[in-house]
Amino acid sequence: MNQLDQLKQFTTIVADTGDFQSIQAFTPRDATTNPSLILKAVQKDEYRPLLEQAVRDHANKSTADIIDELLILFGRKILALIPGRVSTETDARLSFDTAGTIEKGRALIALYEAAGIGRERVLIKIASTWEGICAAQVLEKEGIRCNMTLLFALPQAIACADAGVQLISPFVGRIYDWYKKSTGTEYAGADDPGVQSVRRIYNYYRKFGYKTEVMGASFRNTSQILELAGCDLLTISPDLLKQLAETTGVVARKLNPQEASASDLQKQMLDEKAFRLALNEDAMATEKLAEGIRAFCADSVKLEGLVERLR
């Protein structure tokens, strides 16, 4: 078997794309989207009709509401191609607004349900700020499952698990990028800081019995992916899915509950003050979280611009 098929024996594969053709080609169980991926997709000729349809069908609505409709349109198309769940992201400009995030999460789920899609097939993506985690805790209690994104450090993961969220997406590649730039070192294999971060989170969750799913994300190469074989889920770009599908060689399971139970990790209790201090002490996590929110905000503004020009 190729490496992708072998990996599927240990880990649920998720497509990190808004490209329907890629989703059909690699048969993932789930799929994730974000503002950057949707922006990239609607600028292609084959997907621009979806943008035009959203604007045309909801011309009497606000720009923000039209974008929500566009996100749900993409989500519905994706769900027609996969057996599992799609992740749809809240506006990154709500990252420090608990009430606003709750309202947006409810609105997105309502649009899916109005289109006949059950909430069990949707994950609402929210930035892993303290405010975002608090919003997710409320939504989860209402049966709205959440995918916590822009996650770079164990304190974020612990707070998410304590809040009872469905799934987290630690960003392997962006952690790697920061350490590579900071140290000038080309990390590989098990020495990769991004890989180590996800392994530590996975071991913590399994050791202390958390049900929150761990989905490694934001990969730069297939080595990072293979080092996390056994993680609950991995969300992978089409380019890297293609590389795995075209490569042979044995894929060994690297993460498992037995080794997690034997780890020396200690249970941590984090209230808001402890969370903010721990995150602040981690320069990488602080910088990458802020950078990620800024980038998603900028792409949301660009997406609004595309809608405005069509109105």
What burial class does residue 16 get, using C-beta atoms within 10 Å of its C-beta: 0-12 exposed, 13-18 middle, 19+ buried?
A: buried
In the residue annotation, 273 being an active-site residue is answered as no
Distance CA 242, CA 244 (A): 5
Distant-in-sequence, close-in-space partners of 151: CB < 8 Å, separation ≥ 6: 128, 157, 160, 168, 169, 170, 171
Closest listed residue to residue 148, CA positions, set 230, 239, 194, 215: 215
Distant-in-sequence, close-in-space partners of 21: CB < 8 Å, separation ≥ 6: none
Distant-in-sequence, close-in-space partners of 14: CB < 8 Å, separation ≥ 6: 28, 29, 30, 31, 32, 215, 233, 234, 235, 236
Give long-range contacts, CB 8 A cutoff, 24+ apart: 117-120.
Answer: 117/75, 117/76, 117/79, 119/143, 119/144, 119/145, 120/85, 120/145
Distance CA 133, CA 144 (A): 13
Catalytic residue, candidates 8, 40, 104, 125? 125
Closest listed residue to residue 15, CA positions, set 236, 228, 226: 236
What burial class does residue 277 get, using C-beta atoms within 10 Å of its C-beta: 0-12 exposed, 13-18 middle, 19+ buried?
A: exposed
Catalytic residue ranges: 125
